[in-house]
Chains A and B, each alone.
Chain A
């Protein structure tokens, strides 16, 4: 597609419920990232997928958070038993290639999903 797309754009849920957020990266991009942005803050890295390699999950804040990427394209971020502190904008980004000193890593972001946990 022309850009990174995310759905839903807004999600309101009750504390304790599970939510799934979806990301469609730019076609042909092998790397996909999830970030979280709390109100008025910068972006916090959550997880990174690169091709068929094991994902870098080092940014996930708790075991309630998980993500998968199917077929090397679409990704789903799942938050189980949501808490009020999970309320934030969840942003997905993709890049053509992953890390490496000789590689370019220009990450392009989707519009985000605004999650509100009541």
Chain B
């Protein structure tokens, strides 16, 4: 079952605003991945994190691997309408082989 708590479940923001979402767990992860999924499509990888404390940017997106290895956050700056979609965190635990554990997603709506 799900072991990643992702929040918020949904967000409604105005174009230009910054957005922050996060995932937490009671388990330790050694990889964190952030994906975006558009309707009718598969998830697209946005950012991958491999080391505790790592802060990585991809354009307007910034993600961090928490020091405790039990959490991660994703920030989107200066949102635009095409940022609309569902954002998923996913974690990989050393004890779970290659199976990714997914959060339940954050539905982002950007009003122009």
A residues adjacent to B (C-beta < 8 A): 4, 31, 33, 35, 40-45, 48, 50, 56, 58-59, 91, 93, 95, 98-99, 101, 104-112
Contact = CB atoms under 8 A, between A and B. Distances in A.
Interface of B: 2, 4, 6, 30-31, 33, 35, 40-45, 48, 50, 88, 90, 92, 94, 97-105
A98 B98 contact: yes
Nearest to A92: B42
Contacts of B88: 42-43
A107 B33 contact: yes
A101 B31 CA distance: 9
Contacts of A50: 98
A110 B92 contact: no
Most A CB contacts (10 A, CB to CB) among B45, B100, B101 go to B100
Contacts of A112: 41-42
A80 B41 CA distance: 25
Given A59-B99, A98-B97, A105-B31, 14 more contacts: A4-B42, A31-B98, A35-B102, A42-B102, A43-B88, A43-B102, A44-B102, A45-B100, A48-B98, A58-B99, A91-B42, A101-B94, A104-B50, A107-B33
B97 A106 contact: no
B98 A109 contact: no
Contacts of A48: 97-99
A104 B101 CA distance: 16
A57 to B, nearest CB: 11
Nearest to B93: A99
Which of A42, A110, A111 lies at the interface centre, i.e. has the most chain B CB atoms within 10 A of its CB? A42
A111 B44 CA distance: 10
11 contacts: A33-B98, A43-B90, A43-B100, A43-B102, A58-B99, A59-B99, A99-B92, A101-B30, A107-B45, A111-B42, A112-B42
Contacts of B97: 48, 56, 98-99
Given A41-B104, A99-B92, A110 B42 contact: yes
B44 A109 contact: yes
A45 B4 CA distance: 14
B65 to A, nearest CB: 14
